[in-house]
Amino acid sequence: MNNDVEKKLLESLKGGRPSAIFIDIDGVMTIERGSYVIDLELIELLRKVMEYNIPVCLVSGNAYPTVLTLQRYLGLSPIFIAENGCVIQLYKEFIKICRENLDPLVDEIEKEFHLRRSTSNLYRLCDRAFHVPDDVKSNPSKARELEKNIMEKYPGIYALYTGYVLHIYPRYCSKSNAIRIVAEKMGLDLEKAIAIGDSVTDVDMIKAVGIGVAVGDADEEAKRDAKIVLPFKASQSTKYLISTLLKHISQTRE
């Protein structure tokens, strides 16, 4: 048991329960960063959290159909944010934040920066994704430099590499903006909410809530802005946090 993590979590909750859990998928719910294998033990823990009427909201850069499918078949709350905040599903309400088609930029960026567009773009409503060269994958400084160069040329978009793909999306879209929309519509107190992430695309989400959390092998940018940095890696980190939370909830019920 990591007493420091437990102490910070309990201090942040102030004896209560979180209003919601906003959770990234890749690198947070998967068994490791770079893997697509979901940790089913974690899913069981998240379902137990939902039994206490705490919504578990997926927040991902994945394509809308991918997040919708995971939410449904994993049995999580019917509230999710897809494509880095460009799209929101709130029960039966569909909210599309982005207003333009980025495909013309995809053609330009692919040629100029020697990237390869992701086949997932076929299913994306807003956000677009690229595969990066192997030397960029293994070198965070090169990834940050690539992001910087793209954003300097196209100041109206974000370009962020997650460890899986490089995403581009309009600057008026973000995970934090989408979380605020969800919170307003549901009447959630974000100061009492938990957000768990692992990459640069999660930084604004981590800062948007009262209890921002980074997994142990997160990007340094995410760790720097998190209130709690977990031990362990990927889903092992997340399972530790959720188990600690469930222990706290069960004790407060007694």
Q: Taking a C-beta distance cutoff of 8 angstroms, is the pair 228, 8 a contact? A: yes
Task: Please name the amino acid found at residue 48.
Answer: K
Which residues neighbour 122 within 8 Å (Cβ) at sequence distance 6 or greater?
none
Tell me which of 24, 127, 198, 202 is the catalytic residue. Answer: 24
Residue 209 CB neighbours (<10 A): 28
3-state secondary structure 166-181: EEEEECCCCHHHHHHH
Taking the C-alpha atoms of residue 13 and residue 210, their distance in angstroms, rounded to an integer, is 9
Q: Taking a C-beta distance cutoff of 8 angstroms, is the pair 158, 151 a contact? A: yes
Q: Known catalytic residue: 24? A: yes
Report the catalytic residues: 24
